[in-house]
Amino acid sequence: MKRITLALASALLMIGCAVGLLSGCERDTGSEGLAGINVNPALASDRALIARGEYLAKAGDCSACHDAADKTPYAGGMPVNSPFGPIYASNITPDPTFGIGRYTLRQFADVLRSGKTRNGTRLYPAMPYPSFAKLNDDDVTALYAYFMHGVKPSTNHAPETRLPFPFNQRWAMFFWSHLFGNHDRYVPNPERSAEWNRGAYLVEGLGHCGACHTPRGPAYNELGYDFKSDHYLTGGINDNWFAPNLTGDPGSGLGRWSPDDIAAFLRDGHGGHATAFGAMAPVVGDSTHYLNDADLHAIAVFLKSLPEQNMSGTFDNNLHARTLTARAVESGELERPGAGIFLSYCARCHRADGTGEPGKAPALAGNPLVIAGDPTSVIRIVVEGSQSPKMNDNAKTQKMPAFNSQLTTTEIAQVVSFIRNTWGNHAAPVSDRDVKALRSAIHK
């Protein structure tokens, strides 16, 4: 993929040079479709508007990328890993020198919805501006009010992103945006309920769920930005994690989840017999945990409306067969590769019948992540462990230990293959090569 991306990027640069010479594209001044935005500065200090902006900033999970290493809110400097190298998140506090304190509302809207900074620099799509393009003017104004008047300024100087040629040619992002991005505001669907439309607006726009859960093309572009695309939310790889399928697939997707399961998962990190893991754990802890019940249920209603796509893995919910399998595991009668490893290292928490323990260890039987077509995340959790989301109410987090130093590559492949094909789970087995490749990628 990297070779394909490099070739495409080079082609884009050549196209860009030619078009730039003919049209003076670098003189572009932006404000794409922003004529209607409210520019009244007095609104930016309204307390209710600031509070609304704070809620929206949490819904958009802005802190996930923009908080500093020392946890200073929105001070930037942390790397966002990409296939081309680290992209450092900027300081978005209202400091006038190191942050966005000099931004006008229109300039703030430009960077949020078009990926264009105050000085004309184009942002990389690690910033999900194709999703944020869907935001309406009122929400952009509320976000501006919060970041200008509800956030403490920080003088943290975020490192400059330095990608190798040709990816360091940021002006080429103008063409990337026009060829692969999204520029459309969200338009309510009159054939759907207000609740469905609210959920679609949050998922497709502010929540930018597709940034992780939609597969990307050779130009690092999401292969769909809304429910009309067959690729949208069908699962994607980001930073060596697989974000699972969120369509109605009954195997690896949300087909067997109820709306209440989805809402509970987003609120507490537990739901549908699954637990938030990896990069999703802080999304719950820092973002969706703070959404009100109406918004959580609207998201669930929208997700449940998505038809099954990219089906993979199946689950046979036969209680009798699962019980027999559990007895065979406990007695040692089941001699398949990986069974003994599971009994020794995993059954204590996940139980011999794969049902887990609510609030402590997720079920493995029927778990969509376990039977997903891409086993990357399951392998990674076994290798380096996992931790449940941290909530502000100081609720105790649950940790799964890492088995990197206890199990060999072959043993990890065996136990992952075992759980993907036991208790009614049916998914492709994992090879030594799969495990070795991931361990190399994450240096473990």
Domain boundaries, the chain: 2-180, 194-304, 316-441
pLDDT given for residue 83 in this prediction: 78
The CATH architecture one would assign to domain 316-441 is Orthogonal Bundle (1.10)
Name the β-bridge partners of 216.
222
pLDDT given for residue 129 in this prediction: 94
pLDDT given for residue 220 in this prediction: 86
pLDDT given for residue 427 in this prediction: 95
Cα-flanking dihedrals φ and ψ of residue 386, to 5°? -160, 165
Q: Considering only CA atoms, which of 272, 277, 243 is closest in space to residue 366?
A: 272
Do 415 and 378 contact (CB within 8 A), yes or no?
no
pLDDT given for residue 372 in this prediction: 94
pLDDT given for residue 55 in this prediction: 98
Q: Which helix (H) or strand (E) holds 387?
A: strand 386-387
Give the C-alpha distances (Å, rounded to integers) separating 364 from 79, 270, 274, 289: 33, 13, 8, 24
* Parallel/antiparallel/unpaired status of strands 274-275 and 236-238: unpaired
> What are the average pLDDT values for consecutive 10-residue runs of the chain, which has 444 residues?
42 39 36 46 75 97 93 92 86 95 94 92 91 96 94 94 83 87 94 98 97 92 95 94 95 95 93 82 92 98 96 84 70 75 91 86 92 95 87 71 94 95 93 96 90
pLDDT given for residue 357 in this prediction: 86
* Parallel/antiparallel/unpaired status of strands 425-426 and 270-271: unpaired
Q: What is the DSSP string of 32-82?
A: TT-TT----GGGGG-HHHHHHHHHHHHHTTTHHHHS-TT--TT----EE--
pLDDT given for residue 7 in this prediction: 41
